[in-house]
Structure 1
């Protein structure tokens, strides 16, 4: 068993649990029942990885091994009984989402690389893995999608994936490359949360007068 085979299940499990927790926190904000917690937690926890595996033509990770799904349901159930202990659920949601994003970014990128995808496709798979679960969570929870707002999120994911690809290209051991990518993604996203960073947005400009053309 190589280093990738050893670390990948752990990363998938950790990322699924973190994202499931964010889904359950959204359920708490919307005052859902226990089934709502379980559903939103599960779909958030495995959503990104499911799309990743389908696009890569690989066995879906939680179908091949039900442990991630079981842990997602467990995490969501625990949040149902403990969410009231969190003073600021939205702030917790942002930071947990940052952790989950960093983990699944490198997981998706590494899995795509291992499946034979080129650097660009691997980066795209990392971003897809990091963003799809959150998109599903926000749509089902009727929350403004964090991906479509001004906050730096996809940029942080893409940067983390690119760092992993660069480290992998110069023969850095895969666990170390994954750690570098995850730290990069989390650091950028964390700074964006703490310092309210955002990228410049498009500003509409008035059209030219026909007489000026």
Structure 2
């Protein structure tokens, strides 16, 4: 009961963070209020929806209206602080990174809870964390972060791998979660601050 409540809280916080990142980008594109809210919802629930469909379990946001309401709070936050949030690119990184870490953890733990092996849980963590942003970027006609050389999906996988290694060595759940979060935040910060990236595919010419 305590564990399920904790996961629910994490999912709500992740929804809030990703909702803000989606609405913030909609504001920069001058969407109307309904369009901005819709983009926030898609960003917040997209990854979890794909995860639940693949795992053949009830889709999380269809079980309670709270997720749509929390995205409404995200909309109000951006509405109240539009100038601050849209003038500083670091704010997008902050909300996007927070949502990413929280959703990776929920993806991993929900998958493990229904009996799938850890390697599946890591992939589901990546899907939960990153697919909402893919849908967001596609709707904004932007190249998705997921497919860029910028470290994004790789950060999810690295966080999941560290979660796994900590579990193998008998670390408590709180340590598994903490190291997963730390790994994702460090890699995302390094990508933003120092330009860390994976090798780029280049077309070979004769």
Task: Give me the whole-angstrom Cα distance separating, in 1, the residues matched to 2:110 and 2:83.
Answer: 37
Give the 3-state SS of the residue equivalent to 2:151 in structure 1.
Answer: coil
Number of the residue aligned with 1:15 = 14
- Pairwise mapping of residues 99-138 of structure 1 onto structure 2 (< 5 A)? 99-138=98-137
Given the superposition, is the C-alpha separation of residues 6 and 81 from structure 1 closer, same or farther in structure 2, using an over 3 Å criterion?
closer
Counting only pairs closer than 5 Å after superposition, residues 105-184 of structure 1 correspond to structure 2 as 105-184=104-183
Name the structure 1 match of 2:190.
Answer: 191
- For the residue of structure 1 that corresponds to 2:127, the secondary structure is helix
Indicate the SS of the match to 1:7: helix
Larger radius of gyration: 1
Q: Give secondary structure in 1 for the equivalent of 2:81.
A: helix
Cα drift, residue 107 of structure 1: 1.3
Residue 151 of structure 1: CA displacement? 0.6
How far apart, in 1, do the equivalents of 2:194 and 2:88 lie? 19
Task: Compute the displacement of 1:204 (Å).
Answer: 2.5
How far the C-alpha of 1:171 sits from its partner, in A, is: 3.4
| TM, length-normalised to structure 2 | 0.93
Deviation of 1:95 (Å): 2.7
Which residue is equivalent to 2:46?
A: 47
- In structure 1, what is the Cα distance between the partners aligned to 2:165 and 2:117? 12
Shift of 1:200: 1.0
TM-score (norm 1): 0.90
Q: Tell me the number of residue pairs that the alignment of Structure 1 and Structure 2 aligns.
A: 206
3-state SS in 2 of match to 1:92: helix
Shift of 1:87: 5.7
Comparing 109-118 with 58-67, greater Cα deviation is found at: 58-67
Q: CA RMSD in A?
A: 1.6
List runs of 5+ in structure 1 lacking aligned partners.
208-213
- Structure 2: which 5+ runs fail to align? none
The 8 Å contact of residues 20 and 75 in structure 1, kept in 2 or not, is answered as yes
| Residues 96-105 or 9-18, more deviating | 96-105
